[in-house]
Amino acid sequence: MNSDTENHGFGAVLKELGLKETPKRRVMLEILAEEQRFLSPEELWLALKGRFKTIGLPTVYRNLEELANGGVISTVIHPNRQLYYYFCTAESGHHHHFICTSCRRVEDIPECTVAAMEGEIVTRTGGKITSHIVQFNGFCRHCLADPNERTAI
């Protein structure tokens, strides 16, 4: 249970995805896991610059995409259509998120009640649903209480 053996388990996660465990990837996951708000690739890059003498923005984009494809991190659907990522700590399976458009915090919405809706849609349209997007946007309790929580996008 020491930090050497635990190590956030990121090594195993990367191995499962067939990705080499590099320092950049490990620290990227560390930063995302410690940050409770969604980050843009450039913001993560700036954070990484404090930990590595050289770190390229393309590396950040590349790894973020790989990690998101592997399901290790989640993407945020943002009205400005830019990329944002978040490390979802929920152990459970399929679920959705409530994102604060003010401070960028992300909270889990454990149940997905959309399954029933899907059944009716299939019946009604005769189509086949391959995926769905459900995201709740708003202001989290912190931002409701304190406007200074606000984070610029």
Compute the least distance from the CB of residue 68 to a second copy, in Å. Answer: 11
How many Å apart are CA 23 and CA 2, to the nearest integer? 19
From the list 56, 103, 112, 124, which residue makes contact with Zn ion (rule: CB under 5 A)? 103
How many Å apart are CA 118 and CA 32, to the nearest integer? 32
Residue 14 gets the label, from left (phi > 0), alpha (psi -120 to 50) or beta, of alpha
Compute the least distance from the CB of residue 81 to a second copy, in Å. Answer: 5
Size of the site for Mn ion (CB under 5 A): 3
**Contact between 54 and DNA per CB under 7 A:** yes
**Contact between 12 and a second copy per CB under 8 A:** no
Size of the site for a second copy (CB under 8 A): 36
Give the x/- contact pattern for DNA in 58-87, rule: CB under 7 A: xx-xxx-x---------------xxx----
C-alpha dihedral, 85 to 151 to 146 to 78, nearest 10°: -50
Strand partners, 110: none
Q: What is the DSSP letter of 92?
A: S
From the list 90, 117, 144, 145, which residue makes contact with Mn ion (rule: CB under 5 A)? 90
Q: What is the DSSP letter of 74?
A: E
In the complex, which residues of this chain contact a second copy (CB under 8 A)?
A: 77, 81-83, 98, 100-101, 107, 109, 111, 113-114, 116-118, 121, 124-141, 143-144
